[in-house]
Structure 1
Amino acid sequence: MAYDEDLADRIRDILAPERGLTEKRMFGGLAFLIDGHMAVAASSHRGLLLRVDPARTDELLSPPDVGRFVMRGREMDGWLRVDPPAVDTEDRLTYWVGLGVDYVRTLPPK
């Protein structure tokens, strides 16, 4: 399944002013990296794959359309799956994308 190109364009518009931005196909979707760290991706399963501060994972799970990202059967702290209803407006999408960018900005550039 291909990623949602409209969602990728919306993410691209939000991230346009960010320095150190690159795009890369990852996890079957299109990832947006800041200084080499993936902040957010338009997922091949629809919605977002989002990187956040691992210490905030549980706190960010409260909306019904947000869950932990699961890789090879293992739930990953610091990685969220954000389903389409949670990014259906520009304000909501900007919020989630901002969380990913804010977290990766705390990491040293690769």
Structure 2
Amino acid sequence: MAYNEKLADRVRARFAGLRNVEEKKMMGGLTFMYNGKMCVGIIKDDLMCRIDPALHEDSIARTGCRTMDFTNRPMSGFIMVDERGMKTQKDFDYWIDLALDFNKKAKPSKKKK
């Protein structure tokens, strides 16, 4: 499954000043790990953001945003944003900022042994 390279470049540019960023191909797209924790990703043409679950309902009420339902299991705190929700740089930065803010308190995934 391909992912939107232009969107990946937008994320790379936004993360350029950060340390401890790692790109991983997963979920059929590209995921950006920050400080060892999943932060944002790109699946096809959509931006996936890991946000504070307390902000989930308000977030999905915004234009272009929906709950991530990748395996028919909706996940609170994981959202998908389509191009309508990130047309402007201000909109794009809003979603990235939400993900970066939550990353500070997010728990890292358990390491597989």
Shared fold per TM-score greater than 0.5 = yes
Q: Is the 8 Å Cα contact of residues 47 and 87 (structure 1) preserved in structure 2?
A: no
Q: Deviations over 1:18-76 (max 9, x none)?
A: 121111111111111111111111212x1211100111111111113100000321111
Q: Deviations over 1:66-105 (max 9, x none)?
A: 0000032111100001011111222211111111111012
Instruction: Name 1:64's counterpart in structure 2.
Output: 63
Do structure 1's residue 4 and structure 2's residue 4 form an aligned pair? yes
Give structure 2 stretches of 5+ with no counterpart.
Answer: none
- Quickly say closer, same or farther: Cα 1:67–1:108, change in 2 above 3 A: closer
With normalisation by structure 1, the TM-score equals 0.90
1:108 to partner: Cα distance: 5.3
Letter in 2 for 1:84: E
1:17 to partner: Cα distance: 0.9
Instruction: Name 1:97's counterpart in structure 2.
Output: 96
**Matched residues in 2 for 1:13 and 1:92: separation?**
15
Letter in 2 for 1:4: N
Q: Larger % of strand: which?
A: 1
With normalisation by structure 2, the TM-score equals 0.88
Runs of 4+ in 1 over 6 A off after TM superposition: none
**Matched residues in 2 for 1:79 and 1:69: separation?**
5
**Matched residues in 2 for 1:17 and 1:109: separation?**
21
**Matched residues in 1 for 2:108 and 2:72: separation?**
29
Q: Is the 8 Å Cα contact of residues 63 and 84 (structure 2) preserved in structure 1?
A: no
Alignment coverage as a number of residue pairs: 109
Give me the identity figure in percent: 34
Helix, strand or coil: the match of 1:94? helix
- Higher RCO, Cα 8 Å, sep 6+: 1
**Matched residues in 1 for 2:14 and 2:63: separation?**
24
